[in-house]
Amino acid sequence: MADLNELIDKTADLIVHARRTVVFTGAGVSTESGIPDFRSPGGIWSRFDPEDFTYQKFISDRAARRKHWQLLREGFLGAAAQPNPAHYAIAELDRLGKLDCIITQNVDNLHQKAGVPANKVFELHGNMQFAICLDCRRRYPIAELKARIDRGEEMPDCEVCRGILKPDAVFFGEALPEEVLRDATHHAYSCDLFIVIGSTLVVFPAAYVPQYALESGAKLVIINLSPTPMDRQAAVLISAKAGEVMPEVAHRVAEKMGAES
């Protein structure tokens, strides 16, 4: 069985020689920045009722909306979280010209904070650092809305049309953003290397995306602490923390590219 050093080196080789590399990230990347995940013991759903986070309840129940805004004001989902070494390593791959795009299940905006251009980040489940008006679709930074709450507003509404503002993340009972899913699917089918980082690949429809890459003939790398349903299909499987593995992967990619130039 290959040791970790060999697996990291093989991953770096695959990236160097790939034409288009897509990185797919899940909660295992965010948790290393101190953001709690949803499904693990001690996660979000062990402390809150998922029924309070349905799209239908948010729309129909003023008390539910008030609860959401109070949680957001208190820093729910790590609004103050900062990128960790995995985020910065992925951003370094982009700087090296070896990143086609990131497809992420995370809603924390940390890939952008780490330096990846926003147009290269496809957020399947939205972005909790923004809210959107459900009527006119104007987008607001959550920080701006929290400031309005601090000034005395109970629940901020749209300044343009007075419509309901909703955090710009996908709630239960709400479809994934159609355009983002379409673009992510296109990139998955077009890549020749697909790297899963920090995802157990059990949340659908997002978990279909790496399957699309395999269908197109791409090689698959999985870096995740726990097993996934696609482990046997991976060319490289690394059971370790993203923040420990990815900086070394990026470092070796830079070395190998320097050696080849």
Q: Return the SS3 of 111.
A: helix
| Alpha-helical regions (H) of 33-84 | 55-60, 62-73
Rg from Cα positions in the chain? 19
Q: Whole-angstrom Cα distance, residue 199 to residue 244?
A: 16
Residue where the block lists tokens 């910065």: 88
Nearest to 121 by CA among 30, 184, 176: 184
Task: Using alpha carbons, list the distances in angstroms from residue 55 to 38, 141, 170.
Answer: 17, 20, 8
Residue with tokens 């890549």: 191
Q: What are 203's two structure tokens?
A: 């949340």
Nearest partner of 174 among 253, 57, 258, judged by Cα: 57
Give SS3 for 129: strand
With beta carbons less than 8 A apart as the criterion, state whether 132 and 165 touch. Answer: yes
How far is it, in rounded angstroms, from Cα 103 to Cα 13? 21
Query: Does the annotation mark 125 as catalytic?
Result: yes
SS3 state of residue 130 = strand
**In 26-110, beta strands by DSSP E:** 101-104
Annotated catalytic residue, options 68, 111, 125, 187: 125
Give Cα 198 to chain centroid, integer Å: 9
Residues with catalytic function:
125
